[in-house]
Amino acid sequence: MYIIRKAQEKDISEIVVIEDMSFPVPWPHFLFMSNMGNPGFIVYQEKKRITGYAILGTFMNNAHLLSIAVHPAHRRHGVGSLLLQKCISIARYYGYENMTLEVREKNLEGQRFYQANGFKEKESIEGYYLDDNAVRMQRKI
Ligand SMILES: CC(C)(COP(=O)(O)OP(=O)(O)OC[C@H]1O[C@@H](n2cnc3c(N)ncnc32)[C@H](O)[C@@H]1OP(=O)(O)O)[C@@H](O)C(=O)NCCC(=O)NCCS
């Protein structure tokens, strides 16, 4: 039994553990704190544990996926896709017709995940990350 719900302050310590295992340059605690109140900051909760999160924002009049991660022990079971689908529903609710995101060029697994969820590469952005270029991806929602 799982629920996808809005993130709460008490979730952040568990989110940070997932974050640290998921990204070479993880977001610090305060960046998650600063997203409290964002209706697009959601968590996947199963048996009282947080196993994934996603954060939606906006960029250039599009809904923009700021971040998404799933605990390594829970990957490839559809959790990421459910979180992404929920972000898409939220964005539609707010009237957006497109969703964009950036992913590290080296993160081929992330790119496969987005492709499997209907995103297509739009452009490459050199030097977007301190340690990598970005691939900007987009899909109609
Ligand atoms: C990317 C991520 C969020 C995917 O979460 P997930 O719960 O494992 O994804 P799903 O189970 O919903 O995967 C859906 C489909 O995406 C594709 N996919 C997901 N992970 C993949 C991988 N590592 N390699 C290749 N394809 C992958 C597959 O087609 C998969 O379907 P399948 O399992 O039936 O083959 C997770 O791997 C993660 O947290 N990675 C680290 C952080 C990250 O890279 N975030 C995204 C970039 S910002």
Q: Which tens digits make up the pLDDT trace of 80-111?
A: 999 999 999 999 999 999 999 999 999 999 99
> Average pLDDT in the 121-137 region?
95
How many independent structural domains does the chain possess? Answer: 1
The pLDDT value recorded for residue 69 is 98
Beta bridge partners of 132: 129
Q: Which range of residues forms the domain containing residue 103?
A: 2-140
Strand segments, DSSP code E, in the chain are 2-6, 41-46, 49-59, 62-70, 98-104, 120-129, 132-140
The pLDDT value recorded for residue 52 is 98
Residue 117 CA, ligand 1 centroid: distance in Å: 10
The pLDDT value recorded for residue 44 is 98
Angle between helices 108-116 and 79-93 (to 10 degrees): 60
Residue 34: left if φ>0, alpha if ψ -120 to 50, beta else—which one?
Answer: alpha
The pLDDT value recorded for residue 14 is 98
Instruction: Tell me the residue type at 127.
Output: G
Residues 36-47: tens digit of each pLDDT: 999 999 999 999
Beta bridge partners of 53: 43, 69
Residue 25 φ then ψ, to 5°: -125, 85
Q: For residue 1, what is the DSSP state?
A: -
Residue 72 CA, ligand 1 centroid: distance in Å: 10
Residue 68 CA, ligand 1 centroid: distance in Å: 10
The pLDDT value recorded for residue 22 is 97
CATH code where residue 30 lies: 3.40.630.30
Nearest CA to ligand 1 atom 27: 113
Pocket of ligand 1 (CB under 6 A): 22-23, 67-70, 75-81, 103, 107, 109-110, 112-113, 116
In which residue are the tokens 């459910």 written? 82
